[in-house]
Amino acid sequence: MDAPRKKYIIGNWKMNFTPGEASLYLNKLSTRIQPTRKVQVVLAPSIVSLQSLSLQVNRRQFKLATQNFYWRDYGAFTGEVALTQLRGFVGYAIIGHSERRYLFNETEKDIAQKVAAAIRNGITPVLCIGETALERKDGETSAAIYSQLTSGLHEVSKEDIDKVIIAYEPVWAISSNKNAKPATPIDIVEAEHFIRKHIAKLYGKEASEAISILYGGSVNKNTAAGYLEIEGIDGLLIGGASLIADQFCAIVEIAKGVKDERQY
């Protein structure tokens, strides 16, 4: 019998923790989270902490992700960091996060090129997509998700689609948004079905069923179980709660206990 689908718990630390603080926090997590094949725990520290944490981390316990990078592999790009420089440090890359889209004006072309760069460098892209509050209010949720999904995957071949993770992250539900409100299971199920339907159109039914889809937006230990129990949701992308050891460890334990009858 095939193994159950793996759950992903990704902690996005954003612009928090000095390298020293990050090291202490990783040590705290390492004493409380035991490795398991069922749940892949991924930590995304600030880029200045990646090298030191890569030497400290137990890779059976945690994988590391970069929050950002430039899609070129080398060149005269002052201040930027390429994935060629991060190979060996990270196994995952967060791409298309709403803060990169709306605060730093990353374009759909930028995001597509980043996804392609991750794949050619052997790093798993976590492509974030999701509508804003205004798009939702105007009935444009499907159009926004479709545009971000198809443009983000524009350079991904049928042979490489299994190397991509999708994170549905409605902007209106992110806790850093002062008007945030949690998404309901119905909201998430509708988005998950929509994403899989269009993956099927682009890459086939098998790819649609196999691709991992995560949810992100105001996730904490009180809401995590409800999200993880939604059929078709394969894990969580966590912001604020990933900075609090009690919260993050509790979410990982919840993920370990969630039953998933679906198979690869």
pLDDT tens-digit series, residues 35-92: 999 999 999 999 999 999 999 999 999 999 999 999 999 999 999 999 999 999 999 9
7-244 placed in CATH 3.20.20.140: no
Is 90 in contact with 121 (CB distance < 8 Å)?
no
Per-residue pLDDT at 4 exceeds 80: no
Domain residue ranges of the chain, discontinuous segments joined by + = 7-244
Residue-level pLDDT at 241: 96
Euclidean distance between CA atoms 258 and 9, whole angstroms: 13
Euclidean distance between CA atoms 126 and 172, whole angstroms: 19
Closest CA relative to residue 39, chosen from 197, 251, 183: 251
Residue-level pLDDT at 176: 64
Convert the pLDDT of each residue in 176-188 to its tens digit: 666 667 789 999 9
Q: How confident is the prediction for the chain on average, in pLDDT?
A: 94
pLDDT over 70 for what percent of the chain?
Answer: 94
Whole-model pTM: value is: 0.94
Residue-level pLDDT at 1: 39
Active-site annotation holds for 192: no
Euclidean distance between CA atoms 212 and 229, whole angstroms: 14
Counting every residue written for the chain, the total comes to: 264
Instruction: Give exposure, 147-159, as e/b (b: 16+ Cβ within 10 Å).
Output: ebbbbbbebbeee
Instruction: Give the per-residue SS3 of the chain.
Output: CCCECCEEEEEECCCCCCHHHHHHHHHHHHHHCCCCCCEEEEEECCHHHHHHHHHHCCCCCCEEEECCCECCCCCCCCCCCEHHHHECCECEEEECCHHHHHCCCCCHHHHHHHHHHHHHCCCEEEEEECCCHHHHHCCCHHHHHHHHHHHHCCCCCCCCHHHCEEEECCHHHCCCCCCCCCCCHHHHHHHHHHHHHHHHHHHCHHHHHHCEEEECCCCCCCCHHHHHCCCCCCEEEECHHHHCHHHHHHHHHHHHHCCCCCEC
Euclidean distance between CA atoms 173 and 179, whole angstroms: 8
CA angle in degrees (0–180, nearest 5) for 156-95-222: 120
Residue-level pLDDT at 260: 61
Tell me phi and psi for residue 155, to 5 degrees.
-105, 15
Is 26 in contact with 43 (CB distance < 8 Å)?
yes
Query: Could you say which of 99, 131, 169, 192 is catalytic?
Result: 169
pLDDT band at 210 (very low <50, low <70, confident <90, very high): very high
pLDDT over 90 for what percent of the chain?
Answer: 89
Higher pLDDT, 247 or 263: 247
Active-site annotation holds for 193: no
pLDDT band at 264 (very low <50, low <70, confident <90, very high): very low
Q: CA torsion 123→258→172→182, rounded to 10°?
A: -160
Is 29 in contact with 248 (CB distance < 8 Å)?
yes
28: Cβ contacts below 8 Å, ≥ 6 apart: 245
Query: Could you say which of 97, 99, 106, 135 is catalytic?
Result: 97
